[in-house]
């Protein structure tokens, strides 16, 4: 009802906020970033709305899927973004955005969203990366095995030891770096900031000061609502760690095995 009243201008609203997207790939800390952003009382940061055509991933309190909205998302993604995400908000709202990964929106009906986003040169890009892609690859493999993608309780989780395939690791390393370069070029003319997971995890206060300044927000201390899932060093988390380390010795990726 509040959103309808804002759309009809029955309530004072605001469309002059900073628009942003969190760009990257899975397991680079985008959920951590969203939880920190949403702790700021002037930010609306949505989930991976283009992750699946079967369901709408708002990942946000108070925003549920319905048939009309789902139809709009599938049939006209540009209108969906303009009317359902970058809509009018309460006047105190200062920044609104959502997550999108490199490989999202590749279906024909969703592909137009990429040139649309590239054409919005006032759109602020938070490009999330992770220095150690081995950690990223391991995290995804582990999440696929356990179907546990985020820890919202802070309770210690049972984390399985994982055996990784050399060729899969190599392909993932190369693909991720290629994606990073490609999308840095795609959004070269946008306001853009790089956020590295390792820095965010080490000192989220300092990194969130940078991000809030980038989004033109009044600074507020923020706290995450999710917790780190795994704490084991790589040598203990990967069953065939020594073998992989030997295989990648002398390669551009050998630094991933320095603990």
pLDDT at 228 over 50: yes
Cβ neighbour number for residue 110 with a 10 Å cutoff: 17
Q: Contact at 8 Å (CB) between 123 and 20?
A: yes
Q: What is the pLDDT of residue 251?
A: 97
Q: Are the CB atoms for 3 and 87 separated by under 8 Å?
A: yes
Q: Which has the higher per-residue pLDDT, 174 or 14?
A: 174
- 130 has pLDDT over 70: yes
Q: Among 81-95, 163-177, 207-221, which is the least confidently predicted range?
A: 81-95
pTM of the entire predicted model = 0.90
Q: Supply φ then ψ for residue 138, to 5 degrees.
A: -60, -45
Determine the Cα–Cα distance for residues 113 and 86; give it in Å rounded to an integer: 14
Using the predicted structure, report yes or no on whether residue 153 has a pLDDT greater than 80.
no
What's the whole-number mean pLDDT along residues 208-219? 98
How high is the pLDDT of residue 13?
72
Question: Residue 222: which pLDDT band, with cuts at 50, 70 and 90?
Answer: very high
Mean pLDDT of 44-72: 82
pLDDT at 69: 86
Domains, the chain: 2-257 (3.40.50)
Residue 144 has what pLDDT? 82
């Amino acid at each position: 009802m509040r959103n309808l009243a804002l759309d009809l201008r029955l309530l004072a609203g605001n469309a002059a906020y900073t628009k942003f997207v969190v760009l990257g790939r899975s397991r680079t800390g985008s959920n951590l970033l969203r939880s920190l952003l949403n702790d700021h009382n002037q930010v609306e940061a949505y989930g991976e709305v283009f992750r699946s055509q079967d369901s709408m991933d708002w990942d946000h309190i108070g925003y549920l899927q319905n048939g009309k909205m789902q139809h709009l998302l599938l049939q006209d993604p540009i209108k969906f973004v303009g009317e359902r995400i970058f809509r009018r908000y309460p006047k105190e709202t200062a920044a609104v955005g959502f997550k999108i990964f490199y490989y999202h929106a590749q279906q024909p009906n969703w592909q137009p969203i990429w040139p649309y986003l590239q054409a919005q040169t006032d759109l602020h890009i938070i490009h999330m990366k992770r220095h150690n892609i081995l950690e990223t690859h391991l995290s995804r493999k582990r999440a696929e095995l356990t179907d546990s993608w985020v820890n919202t309780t802070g309770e210690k989780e049972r984390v399985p030891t994982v055996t990784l395939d050399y060729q899969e690791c190599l392909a993932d390393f190369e693909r991720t770096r290629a994606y990073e370069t490609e999308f840095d070029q795609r959004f070269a003319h946008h306001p853009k900031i790089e956020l590295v997971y390792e820095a965010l995890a080490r000192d989220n206060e300092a990194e969130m000061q940078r991000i809030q300044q980038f989004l033109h927000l009044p600074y507020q201390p923020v706290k995450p609502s999710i917790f780190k899932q795994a704490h084991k060093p790589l040598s203990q988390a990967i069953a065939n760690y020594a073998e992989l380390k030997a295989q990648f010795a002398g390669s551009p990726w050998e630094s991933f095995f320095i603990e």
